[in-house]
């Protein structure tokens, strides 16, 4: 009887601690920023599985809505252009943003064209950074190698959206573009940057 009493007493301590830990994990998994990344990956994998059947244009059509839903494309464009953004007209800003959106979607449609057993995993433990969140994830390839992709996200129009992607976990995608975008605008203006981006996309699409 004494052993049973000790066991029951220990369970009154352990079970609540276990349930509290499970609740914290569930709360983390329910984080809206992490959920946004998971939803994006779900659509991306579905598109990859249909990749050969629907072709590049089909992948672009299928990815367009989820990219617009998940990425804050205007903010990403502004950050990529840098300080010269403030000197551009609204028409120029829209033209560059439209080209940036087209490039972003085409990159995913081109680089994730088929499914070979890849797995995307999102870390439910989201990190807060001031008023932004960092969502960590990784792509595990068919060979078993893992490639980290981290996302900086902020709240816009009531939704958590991506404003930067850290390739290999720490290399800012926008920082990689900023020098090129800024120099192109300085030498060729907004129209020159739009043309440069669209020419790159046209080459991607022409290559299938």
Write out pLDDT tens, residues 109-138. Answer: 999 999 999 999 999 999 999 999 999 999
Which residues make beta-bridge pairs with 146?
A: 140
Instruction: Please say if the pLDDT value at position 11 is more than 60.
Output: no
| 101 contacts 73 by C-beta, under 8 angstroms | yes
pLDDT tens digits for range 142-189: 899 999 999 999 999 999 999 999 988 788 999 999 999 999 999 999
Q: What is the pLDDT of residues 18-45, one digit of tens each?
A: 444 444 444 445 799 999 999 999 999 9
Both tokens of residue 11?
Answer: 């369970």
Which residues does residue 6 pair with via DSSP β-bridges, in sequence order? none
């Amino acid at each position: 009887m004494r052993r049973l009493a000790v066991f029951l007493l220990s369970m009154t301590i352990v079970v609540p601690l276990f349930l509290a830990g499970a609740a914290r994990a569930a709360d983390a998994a329910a984080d809206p920023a992490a959920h946004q990344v998971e939803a994006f990956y779900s659509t991306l994998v579905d598109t990859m599985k249909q990749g050969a059947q629907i072709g590049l244009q089909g992948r672009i059509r299928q990815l367009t809505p989820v990219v617009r839903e998940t990425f804050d494309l205007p903010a990403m464009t502004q950050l990529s252009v840098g300080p010269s953004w403030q000197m551009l007209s609204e028409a120029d800003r829209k033209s560059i943003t439209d080209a940036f959106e087209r490039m972003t979607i085409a990159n995913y449609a081109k680089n994730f064209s088929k499914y070979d057993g890849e797995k995307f995993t999102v870390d439910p433990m989201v990190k807060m950074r001031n008023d932004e969140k960092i969502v960590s994830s990784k792509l595990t390839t068919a060979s078993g190698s893992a490639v980290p992709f981290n996302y900086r996200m902020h709240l816009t129009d009531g939704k958590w959206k991506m404003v930067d992607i850290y390739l290999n976990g720490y290399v800012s995608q926008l920082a990689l573009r900023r020098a090129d975008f800024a120099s192109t605008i300085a030498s060729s203006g907004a129209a020159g940057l739009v043309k440069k981006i669209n020419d790159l996309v046209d080459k991607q699409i022409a290559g299938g």
